[in-house]
A and B are shown apart, each in its own frame.
Chain A
Amino acid sequence: MQGLKKEWEIEPHEQHHEKADYAGAMPRWCPGCGDHSALNAVKRLCYEKQLPPERTVVVSGIGCSSRFPHYMKTYGFHGLHGRAFPVACGVKSRRPDLHVFMVTGDGDCCAIGAGHWIHALRYNMDITVILLDNNVYGLTKNQTSPTTRLGEHTNTHPRGAIIPPLSPLTVALGVANTSFVAQTVDWNPAHVFNCIEAAHAHRGTSFVRILQRCPHFSAHVFDAPVHDPSLLLMLEHENGVGLEPDKLKKLPNRMGHDPANLEEARAIAAREDVYPIGLLYRNEHAACYDDFTSHGLSMTQLEKQTAIRAAIDKFAI
């Protein structure tokens, strides 16, 4: 409990939660939307780890993906377009006891929120970030996003997107103090779960990009890797994100990659011939801003009172 001495802390009663306990409102995403797969994975994680719903907070911005918190029965914060990162950091700042998840989309994260994205990666607070990247603005009906492929037709670029897309992976891997970068695809729920599980286990900002199909505006974009699994490059390592053997068999294109190897991670992220999936990078030793923001939490009211009186006294004449 915040602001109180350890010995006064009241431990909440242990309580077992069923999977249904984590289910909030009925999702209103379109049938076939890739977001469902991320929602199922997060619910399953909460259940398997028995995260107390009252100590779990899901923060989001604006967009289809950002409706996520409404579909969980935990604490949630459905905020402003592009601003989920600072809110999530603020939630965590004085509440190290909370499990903070953050869900964002390619517009929310890579366009309007790009500044916050970069800095949040650098702060490296203990937050699990899920980027649901469908390469398009869905909620506002088919506009170009920063990850839209060159030449894709959208309502804002009816003759085709003009500028090559940015890669969330290379951007994330280019930020100083980034500590966890993984990628997965919505049509492989087992791998989605494994990535989110590893992300949650990591202390620091874990960034998971999920390639996610929008059945209305961008399903075709991912036709190739959906139908040809060899276009997915499965990254394998004992410290990486694995997959059960029977599921692994369906991914013929695999390579060994040590997630401690940043240079190789960057090279893999930059490949345009395949979609790498798995853990690109993890650094357990990166500085966590939480260590700073949680300063003073163990002070008692009495200690504070004495310190404040002393601070005022310094101005006495």
Chain B
Amino acid sequence: MQATIPEAAPVTVQSAKNVDEHIIEIVSDSGEGAQTCGQLFADLCARNGNGIWTVEIIPAEIEPPKRSRAGASGNRIRIGSHAITNAGDCADIVVAFNEQVLYSRIDSGALRPGTIVYVDGSWLADSDERVVEQYRAAIADFRARGYQVIPLPIVEECLRYADDVRKGKNIWVLGLLCAIYDLEEARVQESIAKKFGKKGPDAVKKNAQLFTAGYQWALKHVEQRFHVAPIAGAGTRAQVVMNGNQAIALGIMSAGIEVCSMYPITPATSASHFLAAAFEQTGGIVHQAEDEIAAIGFAIGCSYAGKTAVTITSGPGLALKTEFIGYAVMAEVPLVIVVVQRGGPSTGLPTKVEQGDLLAALHASPGDAPKIVMAPATIEECFHFMITARKLAEEFRGPVMVLSDANLATGQQPFAKPEFDPNWLAAPLDMSPWEHETPPFAWDPETGLSRRPIPGQRGGEYVLTGLAHDEHSHVAYESSINQRAMKMRSRKLAVLQSALRPPVAHGGDEGDLLVVGWGSTLGTIEEAVDRLRTEGGKVSSVHLRFFSPMEPGLKAIFRRFRKVMTVEVNYSDDAGDPWITEDSRRYSPLAQMLRSHTLTDVDCWSRVPGSPIPPEMIVTELRKVLDGMGRGEDVCRG
């Protein structure tokens, strides 16, 4: 490569400008470490006391062709001097290791006019004429789109310290970003030493040099630097930072679950990776089964023998597990099933976010199979819901499904460090003799609840079956027995509902418009509601965590608003599209549920972009709805 890039002139470096929050994206070809760079940067910001939320930018392949639009790999990090609950809107700064991968971000609407684009300018010196031409054309295009384009001499700079620049660029860029965001160099060097310590002193030294080079280059050449103050009082409370899959894995351990039985599937697998590495210390195992069906079968066998197990999957895996889920309902086997949702149907969008498995979780079993279905809305809830899930599974003697999604799975967020409580653990197995006169399904006629004998309990011997059975677990085809057993299994959900509190609306208790959401969209929806309320919109939101049983009191809440609608990362027909009538329109899953559950005319706005929906997009849609209501259009007919 010839050095034909003009040396950037030193600039008058101004002191960092204070900003309340910023969104940064780092993108590269796969394998160049933009993800590591993003994670390290996010981690440093979190340690600095900033609010953060991250989104992984993941290509579908392990190593797609270089310099291809669809090959973008990296991270989006939103940092703030307040708690950050979602990925936000357009990026303020983007660092791209080549100009082509940036196009996938432009296509996703991640940039706006004015976004500062740092792009490696080394491509201008590439020996391949076509690359040079592509680069020139792209830069001209970026400028025409109104981005502030600033070329970086990444390769040239890195070659001073590393032979393989593909492995070094990311740390140079980390240095650059830390200088831009006014993070203390010494503190970052500590983190680098920790991160690369395992690879030996040479790796630490090389990365420290790369970091310093990027940092110093930025101090000399970057005009616009920013300071995002830590959250007031940061450092006074103990915090942890992790992604949703790590939170689920830690939650599994903390719940006293000893077996995670799984089959690899994106985006659920990283939870098992973490467990496979760390479970051993807390006395647990990860069983990698031969397929999804075996994974749940193994978990059910383990649960039957007394140790409530967890199986983790995503949509296609859920589809395969459904027969066993029905079995766990019918035979009342405690079991925790985590579904980290991705885009569907079929193989769909394996690495992308969607909330499309809600109805499958509820209904994808033959016959009536009442089970508990819940969904955490934050990474912190991913942790705590696992503890709740195991307890509910045992208390209510059946499967509990926990729906997470790709956005929670890969997003990182700080939250209050969980104070471990020994009561979270499962009690040791009770091996005392079983009372002979008590049948294995001694359903309480009021609640449907019953205790189960565990192998090892003398006198409790019984045969579990997925066939219709009486309280002795004897196969029974009599109609009266079947009706009663179905009633008992269903009753348990009503009992659980009685223990739930009605949700509290965010915003106000009444108004024009109520938005209902669930899962990872919590922060986005609330931010959109807050923005609209500051401009006078009478908008509120409720966010649901339980779907089976449904949270209580919804109808009463809905009545206090003129219109109710869901916002989901799901498909629904848009009213007004060709052939779409009030009669033919297909609603998004939560809207369908709420319509039937509350007999309210719940509307929906939902999209399947494969990425988190930005808050401003929701604001725009809700504003349209509010404007329409102002004109008397389309209000609830509850």
Q: A residues bordering B, Cβ < 8 Å?
A: 1-4, 10, 12, 15, 24-25, 52-55, 57-59, 69-70, 72-80, 83, 85-95, 97-98, 115-116, 118-119, 292-293, 295-297, 299, 301, 303-305, 307-312, 315-317
- Tell me how far the C-beta of B292 lies from the nearest C-beta in chain A, rounded to whole angstroms: 11
Sampled A-B contacts (26; CB under 8 Å): A1-B428, A1-B456, A3-B428, A75-B460, A75-B463, A76-B461, A78-B465, A80-B324, A83-B294, A86-B293, A87-B300, A87-B304, A89-B298, A90-B305, A94-B259, A95-B307, A95-B455, A116-B294, A296-B284, A299-B282, A308-B420, A312-B250, A312-B417, A315-B246, A317-B46, A317-B414
Could you tell me the distance between the alpha carbons of A301 and B422 in the complex, rounded to whole angstroms? 8
Inter-subunit contact A93/B239 (CB<8 Å): no
Could you tell me the distance between the alpha carbons of A301 and B258 in the complex, rounded to whole angstroms? 12
- Tell me how far the C-beta of A124 lies from the nearest C-beta in chain B, rounded to whole angstroms: 14
Inter-subunit contact A55/B280 (CB<8 Å): no
Could you tell me the distance between the alpha carbons of A58 and B294 in the complex, rounded to whole angstroms? 18
Given A54-B461, A57-B455, A80-B327, verify A93-B301 contact (CB < 8 Å): yes
- B289 an interface residue at 8 Å Cβ cutoff? yes
Given A54-B455, A54-B456, A315-B246, verify A292-B417 contact (CB < 8 Å): no
Could you tell me the distance between the alpha carbons of A88 and B464 in the complex, rounded to whole angstroms? 13
- Tell me how far the C-beta of B120 lies from the nearest C-beta in chain A, rounded to whole angstroms: 31
- B137 an interface residue at 8 Å Cβ cutoff? no
Q: Which residue of A lies closest to B422 (CB)?
A: A305
Inter-subunit contact B283/A299 (CB<8 Å): yes
Inter-subunit contact B461/A2 (CB<8 Å): no
- Tell me how far the C-beta of A32 lies from the nearest C-beta in chain B, rounded to whole angstroms: 22
Could you tell me the distance between the alpha carbons of A52 and B456 in the complex, rounded to whole angstroms? 9
Binary contact track B280-322/A, C-beta < 8 Å → 1, others 0: 1111110101110111011111111111010000000000000
- Tell me how far the C-beta of A185 lies from the nearest C-beta in chain B, rounded to whole angstroms: 27
Inter-subunit contact B455/A304 (CB<8 Å): no
Could you tell me the distance between the alpha carbons of A118 and B289 in the complex, rounded to whole angstroms? 12
Given A54-B458, A54-B459, A311-B282, verify A89-B301 contact (CB < 8 Å): yes
- Tell me how far the C-beta of A17 lies from the nearest C-beta in chain B, rounded to whole angstroms: 11
Residues of B close to A12: CB separation below 8 A = 431, 458
Inter-subunit contact B429/A2 (CB<8 Å): yes
Q: Which residue of B lies closest to A53 (CB)?
A: B461
- B457 an interface residue at 8 Å Cβ cutoff? yes
Inter-subunit contact B307/A316 (CB<8 Å): no
Residues of A close to B324: CB separation below 8 A = 80, 83
Given A87-B298, A317-B241, A317-B414, verify A305-B463 contact (CB < 8 Å): no
- B242 an interface residue at 8 Å Cβ cutoff? yes
Which of B241, B284, B429 meets A1, CB within 8 Å? B429
- B149 an interface residue at 8 Å Cβ cutoff? no
- B159 an interface residue at 8 Å Cβ cutoff? no
- B106 an interface residue at 8 Å Cβ cutoff? no
Binary contact track B238-273/A, C-beta < 8 Å → 1, others 0: 111110001000100110101101000000000000
Q: Which residue of A lies closest to B414 (CB)?
A: A317
- B474 an interface residue at 8 Å Cβ cutoff? yes
- Tell me how far the C-beta of B408 lies from the nearest C-beta in chain A, rounded to whole angstroms: 16
Could you tell me the distance between the alpha carbons of A86 and B304 in the complex, rounded to whole angstroms? 12
Could you tell me the distance between the alpha carbons of A294 and B410 in the complex, rounded to whole angstroms? 31
What are the nearest 8 A-B pairs in CB distance?
A: A90-B301, A296-B283, A86-B297, A76-B463, A90-B298, A119-B290, A87-B301, A86-B294
- B323 an interface residue at 8 Å Cβ cutoff? yes
Could you tell me the distance between the alpha carbons of A308 and B424 in the complex, rounded to whole angstroms? 11
Could you tell me the distance between the alpha carbons of A65 and B323 in the complex, rounded to whole angstroms? 20
Could you tell me the distance between the alpha carbons of A297 and B47 in the complex, rounded to whole angstroms? 37
- B462 an interface residue at 8 Å Cβ cutoff? yes
- B278 an interface residue at 8 Å Cβ cutoff? yes
Inter-subunit contact B293/A77 (CB<8 Å): no
Inter-subunit contact B466/A75 (CB<8 Å): no
Could you tell me the distance between the alpha carbons of A25 and B474 in the complex, rounded to whole angstroms? 9
**Besides A75-B455, A304-B256, A305-B422, 19 other CB < 8 A contacts?**
A25-B474, A54-B457, A54-B458, A55-B455, A77-B301, A79-B327, A80-B327, A83-B293, A87-B297, A91-B302, A94-B258, A98-B455, A295-B284, A299-B282, A305-B425, A307-B281, A308-B253, A315-B240, A315-B242
Inter-subunit contact A78/B307 (CB<8 Å): no
- Tell me how far the C-beta of A312 lies from the nearest C-beta in chain B, rounded to whole angstroms: 6
Residues of A close to B464: CB separation below 8 A = 76-79
Inter-subunit contact B302/A93 (CB<8 Å): yes
Inter-subunit contact A312/B299 (CB<8 Å): no
Residues of B close to A76: CB separation below 8 A = 461-464
Residues of B close to A119: CB separation below 8 A = 289-290, 294
Could you tell me the distance between the alpha carbons of A55 and B285 in the complex, rounded to whole angstroms? 23
Could you tell me the distance between the alpha carbons of A15 and B239 in the complex, rounded to whole angstroms? 55
Given A55-B456, A316-B417, verify A74-B461 contact (CB < 8 Å): yes
Residues of A close to B290: CB separation below 8 A = 115-116, 118-119
Could you tell me the distance between the alpha carbons of A55 and B305 in the complex, rounded to whole angstroms? 10
Residues of A close to B599: CB separation below 8 A = none
- Tell me how far the C-beta of A129 lies from the nearest C-beta in chain B, rounded to whole angstroms: 14
Residues of A close to B304: CB separation below 8 A = 77, 87, 90-91
- Tell me how far the C-beta of A201 lies from the nearest C-beta in chain B, rounded to whole angstroms: 21
Could you tell me the distance between the alpha carbons of A76 and B457 in the complex, rounded to whole angstroms? 13
- B418 an interface residue at 8 Å Cβ cutoff? yes
Could you tell me the distance between the alpha carbons of A3 and B305 in the complex, rounded to whole angstroms? 13
Residue among A25, A58, A77, A86 with max Cβ neighbours from chain B (10 Å): A86
Which of B291, B459, B463 meets A77, CB within 8 Å? B463
Could you tell me the distance between the alpha carbons of A58 and B467 in the complex, rounded to whole angstroms? 16
Residues of B close to A78: CB separation below 8 A = 463-467
Residues of A close to B284: CB separation below 8 A = 295-296
Inter-subunit contact B254/A296 (CB<8 Å): no
Residues of B close to A311: CB separation below 8 A = 250, 253, 278, 281-282
Could you tell me the distance between the alpha carbons of A70 and B301 in the complex, rounded to whole angstroms? 17
Which of B283, B293, B298 meets A297, CB within 8 Å? B283
Inter-subunit contact A86/B429 (CB<8 Å): no
Q: Which residue of A lies closest to B426 (CB)?
A: A3
